[in-house]
Structure 1
Amino acid sequence: MQQLNLSKAFTLIEPGPVVLVTTRDGKKDNIMTISWTMVMDFTPVFAITTGEWNHSFAALRKNRECVIAIPTVDLLDKVVGIGTCSGADTDKFSKFKLTPVQAKLVRPPLIQECLANMECKVIDIVKKHNIVVLEAVAAYIDTTRKEKRTVHAVGDGTFIVDGRRIDRKKMMASKLPWGI
């Protein structure tokens, strides 16, 4: 085996899929791209890593709510574009021609073009590690959408696209929560 520079180790387990997180600061909606996400339990509790460097973080901290929208591979250039500009001076919904849809339980909007959206409340912020813990309070999926492949960031500017789904539900039945 060839030794890998330790500063690149994260590229081996970079989570996914890449998501879009919408926030509302009280005046306007914003979108940020996040590739550092984590499922924390079988309940709808998730975490994202973000902090002061992201314009949306102030709205997350103040209003304690957001939407996690899951884009598909056909939106990859928009997802990257969103992640490379700031909501401080850019209306990202307009610039990237995305449609905001009013959420039912939170103020930030869903994104119409995404495969799925989850309305979330912030339940904790772990400042030491810049982890924002979220509880989903509503979830939606567009089952009519033809493109369903999500993308996963490697962390070096490249992405991996979901492929074929392999079913092992029977083998894992004893470890899966009821109803899955």
Structure 2
Amino acid sequence: MSKESFPLSKVYGLLEPGPVVLVTTAREGRANIMTMSWHMMMEFEPPMLACVISNGNFSFDSLKATKQCVINIPTVELSKKVVDCGNSSGRTVDKFKEFGLTPVAASSVEAPLIDECYANLECRVVDDKMVAKYNLFILEVVKAWIDPRKEHPQTIHHLGEGAFMVAGETIHLPSKMK
């Protein structure tokens, strides 16, 4: 066999499920942005996803209390701001002001959309049974927005230790799934 052992602490970089996103929450009139890459789709209709938010993050208490957030999907052009948001705390920084991002009122939740992101998913927590043990929230997308001017958005995907992959070429293969 030509393979070698791989450190278990780096496995997450092999399996990151999707693009890095910016989660917005709002509580008591204060909005926050959190960078997140630990999420996964769970269902098509209604669209449901799961995400892990550490109980040490400022956004954790807000999401737990309000049971609503927006998953904002940035493109590679926002990558520096995405990393900057992830390297600062909403406890001490207004990330919208600090990083020049524009909050836009959502239609179904109190948390704001980020205007610069190419897609925004307004979400409500529908299951919090695994929050205490795993910090895992189950969300239902109740409204989705997309910027139609961005035809081929390139998202970023976290590989760990400051490394990111940029989504690239799209290929189409025949599918019998409908």
Q: Which moved more, 1:16-25 or 1:119-128?
A: 119-128
Structure 2 residue 126 is the aligned partner of structure 1 residue 112: no
* Identity, % of aligned positions: 46
Q: Distance in 1 between matches of 2:169 and 2:7?
A: 31
Listed one character per residue, the Cα deviations across residues 5-60 of structure 1 (whole Å, up to 9, x for unaligned) are: 12211211112200000000122100000010100011210111113111011110
Q: Which residue of 2 aligns with 1:18?
A: 20
Q: Which amino acid aligns with 1:132?
A: F
Task: Determine if contact 1:123/1:134 at 8 Å carries over to the other structure.
Answer: yes
- TM-score after normalising by structure 1: 0.92
Task: Determine if contact 1:23/1:108 at 8 Å carries over to the other structure.
Answer: yes
Query: Structure 2 residue aligned with 1:31, among 30, 33, 36?
Result: 33
Q: Distance in 1 between matches of 2:30 and 2:142?
A: 22
Structure 2 residue 90 is the aligned partner of structure 1 residue 87: yes
Query: Structure 1 residue aligned with 2:44, among 39, 42, 45?
Result: 42
* Structure 1 unpaired stretches of 5+: none
Q: Distance in 2 between matches of 1:36 and 1:57?
A: 14
**Cα distance change on mapping 1:41 and 1:146 into 2, 3 Å:** closer
SS in 1 for 2:22: strand
Q: Which structure 1 residue ranges, 4+ long, deviate > 4 Å from structure 2?
A: none
Alignment of 1:115-126 (within 5 A): 115-125=118-128, 126=130
Q: How many residues get paired? A: 173
SS in 1 for 2:55: coil
Q: Which residue of 2 aligns with 1:3?
A: 5
**Cα offset for 1:146?**
6.3
**Cα offset for 1:92?**
0.3
Q: Distance in 1 between matches of 2:13 and 2:110?
A: 34
**Cα distance change on mapping 1:160 and 1:147 into 2, 3 Å:** same
Structure 2 residue 73 is the aligned partner of structure 1 residue 75: no
* Structure 2 unpaired stretches of 5+: none
- TM-score after normalising by structure 2: 0.93
Q: Which residue of 2 aligns with 1:63?
A: 66
RMSD value over aligned CA atoms? 1.2
Query: Structure 2 residue aligned with 1:137, among 138, 142, 152?
Result: 142
Q: Which moved more, 1:142-151 or 1:23-32?
A: 142-151
